[in-house]
Every structure is written in structure tokens, then in C-alpha cells.
Amino acid sequence: MVDEKIYWMGWQYLLPGSAKRIWSLVERFGSPRVAWMASGEALVARGGFEPRGAAHLVRRRSELDLQEELARLQEQNINYITFEDSDYPQLLRVIFDPPPGLFVRGTLPPHGGQAVAVVGSRRPTPYGVAVAEKLGEELARAGVTVVSGMARGIDSAAHRGALAAGGRTVAVLGCGVDVVYPRENKRLMGDIIETGAVISEFPPGSPPEAWHFPVRNRIISGLCRATVVVEAAEKSGALITADLALDQGRDVMAVPGPVTSPQSRGPNQLIKQGARLVEGVADVLEELGITCLFPGKHLQSPVMPRLTTEEETVYGMLSGDPVPVDIIIENTGLAAQQVLSALMFLEVKGLVRQFPGRLYARRERPARF
């Protein structure tokens, strides 16, 4: 497993931010190790590269000492987890083209916890900053992990709010986890690492290039059950994150703002299109199926959480007796990926319990969030 891990890592060094290409290589060659060992000719014939591109990869590959790079990560207290590791975030597994691996500083939230993304403008109004900080703080007090991008403005405010509540927050970077961007967030970054995590799919040392940020946005939304947009212009990274959340089947919510403010046009437009209007944290918690707020404690939902059609189908055929996943797929008539995704969300919502051997059963009552 360690051997495979370094080859996953190696491909992320060679093809940073190119998850789709890496997954295609692994599928064509059978494993990251076999793909890594392939000749330039094989990379052209089976890997789909142009001859010049394949030669460039082979040359760069020969310059990388993967064991040395792994040791350097350990020296920097950077953990590297792959899609195959048990601590890889469950919600992230089911998005399109998930990162093959994540570089992590700090500690990722445990499986089964709730997470909400709070995103918005880098040039917020005082109103937007106040709202983002308040949302971050109250979500954290409710036991929800606050996820954002550590950018200036709304992102930083949401992180600060979660930290002020003594809660957990995760920052997803568009650069290496050893790169402080923006520079004024050096202290904020250190505080996030102490109680949560700073993560990236880009290798350490990667600069914050413009194209990295749309790529990282799918991870922000992919880690969460819902994305809340606080302030955003009509064309902005926050709206890209909202679109990605919708593509991933996640909830999108927005905080309304003054019609005279350019920074409110993005969230106001989302609300027109059907996004849940957020006036306070209670709206977010209700959308997640959490209807009571007890500050500083995890919450229990007294009602059945809202389910998708696939989740209702899967939940409807389960009982208190464990059933193999193959039987669930057969009896529901759904595709295997649909069933696995539904089971994962039902488990997150506290309605289903997984047993060894990929067996699933209903819980007697919803678990605590």
C-alpha cells in the first residue's frame, strides 16, 4: 500500500490539478505504479499523450525521488492520504473526478460529521463580513465543520467565526499547503491547522495560480452537504462553487443582500433560481434536517431528514436486519454507484448503519449529528 501511495503522489507532482487525467491513466494501465513505470512509447500508445508530452513526463519522472519527497512531507508535518485510504473524506469520494490524494496539515474531521461550505466575495461589505463570521460561529457551535477557501473576505471571516466558537474548520487551498496565501492569513492558517485542517490536491510548493482556484472549488463543495454563498458578484468563484455543488447533488443556499449592492447580485440571483434563502443559522440547520439548536453541542433531529428519491428507495427496502450491498442493488434496481452514494448519505444522516462485510441496516432512530 505504501508503494501505491507514492505513485499516486508522484502523478500529482507530475500532473498537478489534473485528477481526470490521472484517473484515466490509472484506468488504462491498471494501477498508478504500472502507469508510472510505463515507457514513453506506452504513454503515447495507451496513455493518450502526444510524443512530446510523453517525453517531457518521462524526463520529469526521472528527476523525482518519490521516497525522498515522501520523507520531506513527513519532515514538514504534511500528511498525504489517497483515495484508497480509510481516512479519505467520504463525501468527496462520490464527486466527479475526486482528487486522487490530498496533502493535509492538521486533522481532517471524522467520518459521519456534518460539514457546510461558507463562501463569497474577496471584496465583501461590512455586512457580508459580519454575516459570514456569525454563520461560521453558530455553525461551529452546532457541531458543524465550516469549510471554505481561506481567501480574503468572506472565506476568512467564516473561518474566523468557527475558530472563535472553538469549533472545527477546514481550508481548501489553491496552492501548496506550505504556501501562505494571501500572506496576511499566516496566523489564521496556523490557527486552522491547530483545530482543523488545511488541505490541497496541489503538491507542496505549488504557487497560487489563477487556474488552480476553480479546480479547488469542487473540493470545497465536495466535502460538504451544503454550500452557503454570502456575498458574490454575478461572475465569481463563489458562484462557480455553487454550480459545482449543484452538479454534485448538494444543497445550495444564499444570504440575501441589498439590491443596490453589486456584491449581493450573485446570492440574490441564486435565490431567484431556487436556492434556500438564509437569514440565519437556523435556516441552514433546517435544510440539513437539524431543527433544534443547542449552542456548543451536537444536535439531534427529532424529525426524519429530507431524502432524495434514491435515498428514499434504498431506505425503504432496509430493515433492522443487516443486508449485503449486492442484494440492495439488486432489489432497488438502481445503478451500483447510485446505491453506494445513497447509502453513504443515509449513513451521514444517521439513518443507516454499516456493518463489516458491507452489510447495511436501518438505525432504530436517527443518530446524533
Q: What is the pLDDT of residues 280-296, one digit of tens each?
A: 999 999 988 865 444 44
If we measure between CA atoms, which residue out of 197, 237, 50 comes closest to residue 110? 197
pLDDT tens string 322-346:
889 988 998 888 998 888 888 888 8
pLDDT tens string 159-171:
999 999 999 999 9
pLDDT tens string 27-85:
999 999 999 999 999 999 999 999 999 999 999 999 999 999 999 999 999 999 999 99
Average pLDDT estimate for 107-116: 89
Q: Please report the pLDDT score of residue 320 as a whole number.
A: 75
Whether the pLDDT of residue 366 is over 50: the answer is: no
Burial label, 274 (beta-carbon count in 10 A; 0-12, 13-18, 19+): exposed
Per-residue confidence band for 301, with pLDDT thresholds at 50, 70 and 90: very low
Whether the pLDDT of residue 243 is over 90: the answer is: yes
Q: Please give the model's pTM, rounded to 2 decimal places.
A: 0.79
3 state SS for 137-177: HHHHHCCCEEEECCCCCHHHHHHHHHHHCCCCEEEECCCCC
Residue type, 164: A
Q: Please report the pLDDT score of residue 288 as a whole number.
A: 86
Q: Please report the pLDDT score of residue 62 as a whole number.
A: 93
Q: Please report the pLDDT score of residue 119 as a whole number.
A: 98
CA distances from 123 to 148, 152, 211, 281 (A): 15, 7, 19, 23
Distance CA 149, CA 244 (A): 15
**Interhelix angle 237-247/212-222, nearest 10 degrees:** 50
Domain annotation for the chain: domains and CATH numbers:
4-65 (no CATH), 105-288 (3.40.50.450), 309-362 (1.10.10.10)
Name the more confident of 236 and 202: 202
Q: Please report the pLDDT score of residue 365 as a whole number.
A: 44
Average pLDDT estimate for 245-254: 95
**Under DSSP, is residue 65 helix (H, G, I), strand (E, B) or coil?**
coil
Q: H-helix or E-strand containing 32? A: helix 32-37
Q: How many Cβ atoms sit within 10 Å of the Cβ of residue 159?
A: 30
Strand order in the sheet with 352-355: 323-324, 359-362, 352-355
Name the more confident of 178 and 258: 178
Q: Torsions phi, psi of 57, nearest 5?
A: -65, -45
Per-residue confidence band for 262, with pLDDT thresholds at 50, 70 and 90: very high
Q: Torsions phi, psi of 266, nearest 5?
A: -65, -60
What integer best gives the mean pLDDT of the chain?
Answer: 90
Q: Which residues contact 156 (CB under 8 A, 6 or more apart)?
A: 148, 150, 185, 188
pLDDT tens string 171-212:
999 999 999 999 999 999 999 999 999 999 999 999 999 999
By percentage, how much of the chain surpasses pLDDT 70? 93
